Structure 1
Amino acid sequence: MNEFYISALYIVPTPIGNLSDITYRALETLKNVDIIAAENIKHTTILLKHFNIKNHLILLNKDNENKQSAHLVQELKKGKKIALVSNAGTPIINDPGSILIKKCHFFNIKVIPLPGPCAAITALSASGIINNRFCYEGFLPSKKKSRCDLLYSLKEETRTIIFYESKYRIIESIQDIIEQIDENRHIVIAREITKKWESIHGAKATLILQWLKEDEYRYKGEIVIIIDGFKKLKTKSLSTKTLQTFSMLRKFLSLKTSVLMTSKIHKINKNNLYQYAIKKKSDKII
């Protein structure tokens, strides 16, 4: 049986920028369902017109999700076929629709997800950061205290961390990452993925901040922040002599200078020593 004629809720990903990224299956689904539940009707209408698709659209957003979900469930019970789409990318990921899906499962209504674009995964694949393990944290909190509390809680997260961020807060958020996580942590800023002005740039946090401040166009549009995971300290590589040298220098010199000099004297990896120093500092030992 052709699945397009099955009564079900279809979760349909749409392009995050380049309209050519839509799949044949997504187009066929949007053509054959009875109703398209869209986060933004005007935005989705542009997509449908581009592919010459005419269908019935209804609004489902964060403001009307409860009421509209109840209505859509009734339509599904009648045997209707409904597609759920967001403004861009895979629905539900930071978008409305979860209430509708929960109701569908409660009433044993079939839910059929289609694979497709997702800004977080697309950016991660091109980041150059080891990403076999990662955690997606959605949008960073808009309020500074909440944002700093979250970032601090992720300070020793060993998995790659992915955030979405607004152009209006990106500078503040990078500053908070420097203060709450690590000024030397490697960060990748992926902007306008799949669009004309796409850019992917990676460097340690302080250099990323400097790079962004040099040109405001570097943080225009939709942004994904990817943060390298915390690397656990390999204490075996730090000998007693190394630690003694570092402690002695630290009494008279800055942290940065002490790390550089100790690493040169003992010919060790400065990042390993720097992580040791940061950890000890947080433990109030040095």
Structure 2
Amino acid sequence: MMTGILYVVATPIGNLDDITKRATHVLAQVAVIAAEDTRHSSRLLQFLGINTPLVSVHDHNEANQVQRLIQQLLAGEHIALISDAGTPLISDPGYRLVAAAHHAHIQVVPVVGACAAIAALSAAGLPSDRFSFEGFLAAKASQRQTQLKALANESRTLIFYEAPHRILECVQDMAAIFGADRRVVLARELTKTFETIKQSTLAELCVFVASDTNQQRGEIVLVVEGAPEDSTLMAQKELDALLLKLLKYLPIKACAQLAAELTGHKKNALYDRALVLQTKAE
């Protein structure tokens, strides 16, 4: 018996008219649709006039659902995987199911469409030839700041998702760590009625978001300009000072690892430099 196909189907991120003809056809033809939130997805299916059964697959039950869905695929049934909005697996559940399908030699077919990160990048007016998608930052301020410090010297354009209740604190942290003059684009409620696409500096965005509580609502993407190429590496004098300070408290390997996370330099090069500095100090 031929195995079924797992279709990874992108759905609209706001405007339901953005659904593709191919996605509509696939959703109508599969045996079952694995959805992040069946209540949310049922509204899309109702809009499309599709009656395909829905099964819930989210962060908390994906591990348990995978084997049952794989068995259906092995039995020859086709299944579509969708998230609440946009392309599945982009900061959404589904990784375990797709990985298990590959492991079972089941064909996985992407049905392309909307993705908030790419939509924001396309309209941001920032360099798009090289970019890094970072997803959601940590909810705790200390962890978020550590993540941002590790990215401070990244020269690629950075794309983040952020929750509305944390957007102001997040932008303030970015301004403090990346620099107030770094360019950023707030892309909020993309394709929806109150869509906002605003390019500014991080300092200006802090004021904009703080002064308008409407900007602290909805689905938010931040597209941040990368660091200038000539500032991606710390000056050797500064780097040596950091390594010497860390060597007072850490063994060389741990020192190099932490310095790499803080500066963006290669860990092996930092290890070699720390070894030289330690030898000189002795």
For the pair shown, the structure with the greater C-alpha radius of gyration is 1
Q: Could you say what the CA RMSD is over the residues aligned between the two structures, in angstroms?
A: 2.0
String of CA shifts for 1:158-183, please: whole Å, max 9, x gaps.
Answer: 00000000110011101111112111
1:163 to 2:163 alignment: no
Q: 1:14 aligns to what?
A: 11
String of CA shifts for 1:6-50, please: whole Å, max 9, x gaps.
Answer: 820000100000000000000000000001011000001000000
String of CA shifts for 1:86-140, please: whole Å, max 9, x gaps.
Answer: 0000001111111011111111011111111000000110001111100000011
Q: Give the Cα separation in 1 of the matches to 2:223 and 2:70.
A: 37
Q: 1:230 aligns to what?
A: 227
1:40 to 2:46 alignment: no
Task: Name which of 174, 182, 186 aligns with 2:183.
Answer: 186
Q: 2:212 aligns to what?
A: 215
Q: Give the Cα separation in 2 of the matches to 1:186 and 1:219.
A: 19
1:72 to 2:69 alignment: yes
Task: Name which of 86, 89, 102 aligns with 1:89.
Answer: 86
User: What stretches of structure 1 move > 4 A for 4+ residues in a row?
Assistant: none
1:283 to 2:238 alignment: yes
Q: Give the Cα separation in 2 of the matches to 1:171 and 1:199.
A: 15
String of CA shifts for 1:174-231, please: whole Å, max 9, x gaps.
Answer: 1111112111101110000000100101111111101111111123111001100111
User: Once the 2 structures are TM-superposed, how far is the Cα of residue 152 of structure 1 from its aligned partner?
Assistant: 0.5
Partner of 1:93, secondary structure, is: coil
Q: Give the Cα separation in 2 of the matches to 1:153 and 1:131.
A: 21
For the 8 Å contact 1:191–1:219, the answer to whether it is kept is: no
Q: Give the Cα separation in 1 of the matches to 2:213 and 2:135.
A: 23
Partner of 2:179, secondary structure, is: coil
- Structure 2: give runs of 5+ residues left out of the alignment: 242-282
Q: Give the Cα separation in 1 of the matches to 2:12 and 2:229.
A: 38
Q: Give the Cα separation in 2 of the matches to 1:6 and 1:189.
A: 44
Q: 2:124 aligns to what?
A: 127
- Structure 1: give runs of 5+ residues left out of the alignment: 234-274
Q: Give the Cα separation in 2 of the matches to 1:229 and 1:283.
A: 21
Partner of 1:188, secondary structure, is: strand
* TM-score normalized with structure 1 length: 0.80
The number of aligned residues is 238
Q: 1:23 aligns to what?
A: 20
Partner of 2:132, secondary structure, is: strand
Partner of 1:201, secondary structure, is: strand
Q: Percent identity?
A: 40
Letter in 1 for 2:35: A
For the 8 Å contact 1:8–1:112, the answer to whether it is kept is: yes
* TM-score normalized with structure 2 length: 0.81
Q: 2:135 aligns to what?
A: 138
Q: Give the Cα separation in 2 of the matches to 1:32 and 1:134.
A: 36
1:197 to 2:194 alignment: yes
For the 8 Å contact 2:3–2:75, the answer to whether it is kept is: no
Q: Give the Cα separation in 2 of the matches to 1:283 and 1:192.
A: 42
User: Once the 2 structures are TM-superposed, how far is the Cα of residue 84 of structure 1 from its aligned partner?
Assistant: 0.3
Q: Give the Cα separation in 2 of the matches to 1:189 and 1:283.
A: 33
Q: Give the Cα separation in 2 of the matches to 1:145 and 1:213.
A: 21
